[in-house]
Structure 1
Amino acid sequence: MDGSSNRNSDPNPAHIILIPFMAQGHMIPMVDVARLLASSGALVTFITTPVNAARIRPSIDSIENSQLPVRFVQLPFRSADVGLPAGCENVDLISSPDLFKPFMKALSLFGEQVKLYLTATNPTADCIIFDSMNSWVGAVAESLNIPHIIFHGPSCFYILCAHLLKKHQVLKRIDDDYKLFKVPELPEPVEVMKAQVMSLKDRPEWEKESEEIYKTEKSACGVVMNTFEELEKSSLDKFRKEIGKKVWPIGPLSLANKDSDGKAMRGKASSIDTVLLLSWLDSKAPNSVMFVSFGSLSRNPISQLVQIGQGLESASSSQLSFIWVVNEADKSEEVENWLLEFEERTKGRVMVIRGWAPQAMILGHVAVGGFMTHCGWNSTLEAIAAGVVMATWPRFGDQFVNERLVVDVLRIGVTVGAKVPTLFVDEMSEKALVKGE
């Protein structure tokens, strides 16, 4: 175990276990859940692994310094037992598609460690809140007679969409991956393509894992979601009727970070000096900066980076500036050399951040008026909470459905025009390339 916290004034607080899925976009909101529950009087135990604990170390330190009753527990992740590279304990460390199944196998083995811990922990757990991708938690919780609640990180609009597609077996009847169709029974009907909504769970080779996830969803006491009633009322009402369970919308979870330090440290340690960053933003006029970021998992090949750079370079001026987050810089000497030349040409107008950016802090600055985003739900909610409009460029997973919510339903964004899902750099075909203009 790493770290401890003072207990609150209640001599017998509820003890709630949190088990996030090991992907940065899933862990970030679960840390916020820990903060909110502890602030409300619960004793919280957050279970993770050594690599993932190191990644969220700034958030752990912040919570421990605040004396909130949160315990961060690190249990071993058996990467080597399933053929994964040492330290491969997070989805964004998976280097190729064929490692996803071994990663999910390692997660189920992690469940054995969790069960041993929960059997011995004191005080005993009153409830487990777990990410829906951790389907193994249901069996562990039932074997120990602990009530369990699912945490859905994506939008309710997406979760409802996926539920209705499975309910009506829509994807099995569609042969053309890029033909638009309407999702049946959605309160606000939108058109999507099969390629854009087909997740791993929908593929035949993932049928066993998919059924385990749906079985666990049925056994759960209820659902916690990172959204709020005023944003997705019709979707929440419909989803409650569909599943017949309690649904608690507790978002936007990013707002659990009240001060500038909390916003700056949400997720991982920033790759840029925040004082330097704020000074640069302070020098810009209100609503004159566009923030460009594609999340923790998406990667662009050099061909796409050049097109993005050309677009930003032609649009940047004394009136319009950009902050561009580039996660690819540490992967290629070619990328780094090109970036250095790009920075020299756009000095003062485009700030390039290599790696992790303090996104919530940036979006909350008065100088930022727009956000080019991959439509990950954490990013989308952060933009909504900050009142920043979006240019949408989804890549995979829930992101294309989130785009439809932002553009067609909420009407707070415009689409860049991306149609083809991509996750790994080598998957990005010429068809997926979005040109600079």
Structure 2
Amino acid sequence: MTTHFLLVPFMAQGHMIPMLDIAHVLAHRGAKVTFVTTHMNAATIRPIIHRATNSGLSIVVVELNFPCSEVGLPDGFESADQLYTSDQFLTFFRALPLLQPQLELCLQSNKPDCVIFDFQHAWAALAARNFGISRLSFHGTAAFFLLCYRNIEKEGILLSKDDTSENDPYAVPGNLPQDIVLTRAKTRLWPDTPEWREIREEIILGEESADGVVLNSFAELEPWFIERYREAVDKPLWPIGPLSLHAGLGEMRGKVVSLDTDQLMAWLDSNEQRSVVFANFGSLVRHSPSQLVEIGYGLEKSGRPFIWVVKEAGEKIEVRGRGLVIRGWAPQVSILSHGAVGGFLTHCGWNSVVEAVAAGVPIATWPHFSDQFMNERLVVDFLRVGVAVEGTEVPPEFFVDGDRYQVGREGVEKAIGRLMDEGEEAEGRRQRAKELGEKARRAVEKGGSSFDGLTELIRRFSK
């Protein structure tokens, strides 16, 4: 009998894409998938779902009404990518549990064998528990980050009331293979307020209620941290990534490309192997106008051909000197996979990190918030496939405004120079990145660690 999985992603592009990947991967392996999201987010992914169903995959979308007017958000603000203030983020998180009654109606009418919920959706875990349904928490980040953050919370470092500055360094606690030095400002995921502490406590309860954990990682990438995290949570753990590499996904992941992809690929084809720098900072990072100017000058001054993705306008491609500027969304996996790309300047979101690893491309790390600073440490210190952009301090507020910028053009130019030069150090990074890419591809092939893990996951919840 077909195993039925119901997926509840967090409403933000960086969370929706890997969960869509999971939907495709499960359906390719013969499972039935129900994908639950809100009306606006469903409209965004509808072309992807149509392509999947037209190819014979069993994926159905269930749409929920997001209570914008009820909580005081503008109509249509159903994704974290649309939020512009800290108050809006808090309101958005407070609105999420209001979706629980609608999800429970869905579970009642079409009970799945297992619910996979984004770890931020504690309300979805509660709904599944109310119906006696098995549930898995999905973390779209590294076991490295999860273990380190768990140790930090266990020791109460972020709750300390002494006079230690937010920017004073400390070593992450726990018996780790080597010291990891961070600051509170670079560790804090949530503002330290009663409202956010309450939300965090609910998320922890949802995670603790899960029957297991799914990760977009793979055993060969971070074996020590995967095993230690599995021991820490004391429940089944399935690293089934890189999700972007699983056979059968191809062009079915991500948005439908409205850019002139022929122009994009022809431009890449015109450049030498491993000569192009790709710069992209994800869906949530917002740079001030002055910071954009510094990035642009830094890319130009590097002397390297480059592709730079800027979100501040509608989708189009512009050729500027030796560079290609993509305004809007870009097919990141396709670009990283092209042989002309030799380095990736990124915010260090986990999707971007694991996609670069899968493509065997070394990384220049410029973290901005959330897990990105710890991801940088994994990339630079442990995997040794990246160089850190200097001067990436945490801004006073999550949302950047005015003329403030973090990194000047010289910092951008210097990082690209280190990443792309021909010296022994850079060549070592390239070789390690290539080897990780080969391991990633083997992991998702038949008999690989992620392939077999996915087989075991499906079997675990089959009737």
With structure 2 as the length reference, what TM-score do the two structures score? Answer: 0.84
1:137 corresponds to which letter in structure 2? A
CA distance in structure 2 between the partners assigned to 1:55 and 1:24 by the alignment: 10
1:329 corresponds to which letter in structure 2? A
Q: Secondary structure at the match of 1:113?
A: helix
2:202 to 198, 209, 212: 212
Question: Relative to structure 1, is the Cα distance of residues 69 and 411 closer, same or farther in structure 2, using a 3 angstrom cutoff?
Answer: same
Question: Relative to structure 1, is the Cα distance of residues 209 and 259 closer, same or farther in structure 2, using a 3 angstrom cutoff?
Answer: closer
Identity of aligned residues (%): 47
TM-superposed CA distance for 1:215, in Å, is: 0.9
CA distance in structure 1 between the partners assigned to 2:74 and 2:175 by the alignment: 42
2:385 corresponds to which letter in structure 1? I
1:101 aligns with 2:90: yes
Partner of 2:26: 37
Partner of 1:225: 215
Task: Output one character per residue of 1:171-230: Cα deviation in whole Å (capped at 9) or x when no partner.
Answer: 223621111111111523311111011011754431211111111111110101110111
Partner of 1:289: 276
Partner of 1:4: none
Structure 1 unmatched ranges of 5 or more? 1-11, 331-335
Q: Secondary structure at the match of 1:229?
A: coil
2:127 corresponds to which letter in structure 1? V
Partner of 2:65: 76
Deviates more, 1:156-165 or 1:195-204: 195-204
TM-superposed CA distance for 1:63, in Å, is: 1.1
Partner of 2:181: 191
1:327 aligns with 2:311: yes
CA distance in structure 1 between the partners assigned to 2:251 and 2:59 by the alignment: 19
1:159 corresponds to which letter in structure 2? L
Aligned residues: 406
Kept after mapping to 1: 8 A contact 2:28/2:248: no
Partner of 2:437: none
Q: What is the 5 A alignment of 1:316-395?
A: 316=303, 320-329=304-313, 346-347=320-321, 349-395=322-368
1:20 to 9, 21, 42: 9
Structure 2 unmatched ranges of 5 or more? 412-463
1:49 aligns with 2:48: no
Task: Output one character per residue of 1:119-167: Cα deviation in whole Å (capped at 9) or x when no partner.
Answer: 112xx21110000000111221111111111001111111111111111
Kept after mapping to 2: 8 A contact 1:201/1:210: no
1:131 aligns with 2:106: no
Q: Secondary structure at the match of 1:151?
A: strand
Kept after mapping to 2: 8 A contact 1:197/1:398: yes
Question: Relative to structure 1, is the Cα distance of residues 225 and 67 closer, same or farther in structure 2, using a 3 angstrom cutoff?
Answer: same
Kept after mapping to 2: 8 A contact 1:187/1:234: no
Question: Relative to structure 1, is the Cα distance of residues 323 and 52 closer, same or farther in structure 2, using a 3 angstrom cutoff?
Answer: same
2:373 corresponds to which letter in structure 1? F
Kept after mapping to 2: 8 A contact 1:324/1:353: yes
Task: Output one character per residue of 1:305-344: Cα deviation in whole Å (capped at 9) or x when no partner.
Answer: 111111111123xxx20000001236xxxxx9xx99xx67
Kept after mapping to 2: 8 A contact 1:151/1:224: yes
Partner of 2:129: 142
TM-superposed CA distance for 1:402, in Å, is: 0.2
Partner of 2:50: 61
